[in-house]
Amino acid sequence: MGIQEQIRAKAAEYKMYTAQNLSKMVQVKSYSSKEEDVCRLIVSLCEEAGFDEVRIDGLGSVIGRVGYGEKTIAFDAHIDTVEVGNLDNWDFDPFSGEIADGLVKGRGTSDQKGGAASMITAGRILKELGYGGQYSIYFTFTVMEEDCDGMCWKYLIEEEKFKPELIVSTEPTSCRLYRGHRGRMEIRVFLKGISCHGSAPERGVSAAYKASKAALAIEQLNEDLQPDEGNFLGKGTITVSQMDVKGPSQCAVPDYAMLYCDRRLTWGEDAELAINQVKEYVSKATGDSIDDIIVEMPIYEKLGWTQKDYHQELYFPTWKIDEDHFLVTSGVEAYTKLYGSAPVVDKWTFSTNLVATTGRHKIPAIGFGPGDENQAHAPNEITRVEDLEICAAFYAMLPYTLDGRA
């Protein structure tokens, strides 16, 4: 029996093991910066699976390893989740982890504890097969992604000096192989007015009206943004997500306004370009000079569960990898050997930890994960047990496919 048949057989044998591990993780709440309990659970699951090493880094992420090769590859899953929102929108307990009808149900099943569960099974399979190839295979279960994508990896690379040669994100891809996504950044715009009594608004300058004009200008900017060359990642976007207007009283013209923007960045766009665009469009709309408009990138400063003091600006660079890169072709080969046909190669709409590993630090990466992107942050979140099995097999197969290549 060839290695692909052995891996496929073991992934099928451990299908319910994978689903049950996912169920256990779903039952443990792990909102961003509050992941300690699920991290402790994952440590025990990795140890039970026979990993060669399991540790917790300074920021709180779990780092597991299988194998002793000179080269390094990391499979990454963030194990924090967003909150559940309005419970009236759920048809079941978000933390039940119920397994029924070929599905695992609950918050985080697709985004993205499903990938974590498949990673644990892949590690078990590799250990049982006695993998002794060229790679040390790391499985990283990372924290705080929902709040600040990639900061966990920025910390690992820049502070702990852990920089693998290759990365696989296990964010949901519907078992397709992804090779890029847009970057993003958060932008704050501050506008000044001149307050006066509300009975004579002509005596002042309303920051509220400036904010309204600025919001419409940003809407126009969004329409004017263009796709990348080849239209692989598509166009960048910008939207106003929050507005705040204040003045001396409810009976006064406001003299302060703030607009908060979510900016998605296609290939070739960066923070400097995005900030200058906002300044230009807002200046034209409000009549203020560019120098009088404050446009800035906020800093993420929340402490994680280890209370480590670490932060970064809210900028997450765009990334992509060429379709003929050996990591992409190895991924296609691994999937084809397992399942007899090539996977769909595509891209994410949303952002992942790869903004740090690949956008910032240029480590080649691909994505392959269980579940669907449209389940992320949605009520009634589910993932398919079949996806978990497919991904466990893929993660175990990829190092064998990579052995002997660049």
**How far is residue 395 from each of residues 8, 116, 172, 323, measured CA to CA in Å?**
11, 11, 14, 19
Residue type, 216: L
Q: Which tokens belong to 230? A: 């080849």
- Nearest C-alpha neighbor of 23 from the set 117, 120, 88: 117
Q: Is the dihedral of CA 68, 74, 77, 78 positive or negative?
A: positive
Please tell me the distance from the alpha carbon of residue 110 to that of residue 145, in angstroms, as a whole number: 14
Please tell me the distance from the alpha carbon of residue 390 to that of residue 160, in angstroms, as a whole number: 32
Kind of pairing, strands 382-384 and 103-105?
antiparallel
Kind of pairing, strands 237-246 and 177-178?
unpaired
Active site residues: 80, 145
Q: Which residues of 189-217 are buried (b: 16+ CB within 10 A; e: fewer)?
A: bbbebebbeeeeeeebbbbbbbbbbbbeb
* Omega before 226 within 30 of 0, i.e. cis: no
Return the SS3 of 305: coil
- Nearest C-alpha neighbor of 235 from the set 269, 261, 278: 269
Q: Which tokens belong to 346? A: 């595509």
Please tell me the distance from the alpha carbon of residue 331 to that of residue 399, in angstroms, as a whole number: 9
387 near 114, Cβ under 8 Å? Answer: yes
Please tell me the distance from the alpha carbon of residue 146 to that of residue 207, in angstroms, as a whole number: 32
